[in-house]
Every structure is written in structure tokens, then in C-alpha cells.
Amino acid sequence: MQAVQGDGRTKFEHLKGLAEQGNAIARAELDAIPPIPPAARHVWEWFEDIGRRRTVGFGPSAITWQDIAAWCHVTGNQPQPWEVRGICRIDDTLMRVRAEEQAAKDRAAQQKGVKR
């Protein structure tokens, strides 16, 4: 859902826009996303806050310990170890999904280039 599409927006942003326009399929897909437990919502918000500042070279980079330390210093937040692990696990999952998506695009492009 957080994978950036060709226009720079995420799939989630696309679905949200379509759902707001009355698209039932987009609404159903959004409704299928499990809610974030209230006790962990702040961890997701912190992840999003840190993630918006990630470096991008040949694609987005993983959030580093230095990124988290700098964010703590600037914001004054002092997350517990379980919260930092949560941020890292979310980011690890995002990086894995983006790598899988890129690999699928690469395979599709390669198959288009293969003539039989």
C-alpha cells in the first residue's frame, strides 16, 4: 500500500482518492486493511514521520539507526526499545515489498524484451 506508483503517489493514496469518488472496489480494498491497534498507532505515526525524511538514491533507503537517533533528538521523543523494533520491522517489511515489486517489474520488462 505504501509502494510509490509511477506518479509519485502510493497505492493507498490512489485507493483513498478513488474511494472518495465513490469507487466501491477501492472502498472494499481499503476496508480489508486491518486496523492498527490503538496502543501501537503512535509507532506507525513515528515510522511515517521518520520515513518521510529517508534518503533516496536509486530508490528509497532503509531507515538507519542514525535516522532514528536524529529524529529522537529533533522531536524530543524517547521511544521504548519495543517501539524502535516496531519501526524497524515496519521499515524492513516495506523495503522487502518494494524490492519484490521492483523484481517483478524487472522480470516483466525482461519478458517483454524476449522474442520467441
| Predicted local confidence at residue 103, as pLDDT | 85
**d(C-alpha 43, C-alpha 27), whole Å:** 25
pLDDT at 14: 82
Q: What are phi and psi of 53, to 5 degrees?
A: -105, 5
Residue 24 predicted with pLDDT over 90:
yes
Q: Which of 19, 41, 43 is nearest to 30 (CA)?
A: 19
Q: What is the pLDDT of residues 67-98, one digit of tens each?
A: 999 999 999 999 999 999 999 999 999 889 88
Is the pLDDT score of 31 beyond 80?
Answer: yes
Residue 59: what pLDDT?
Answer: 75
Grid cell locating 74: 529533533
Q: What is the pLDDT of residue 3?
A: 60
Alpha-carbon dihedral angle through residues 109, 111, 115, 116, given to the nearest 10 degrees: -170
Q: What is the pTM of this model?
A: 0.70
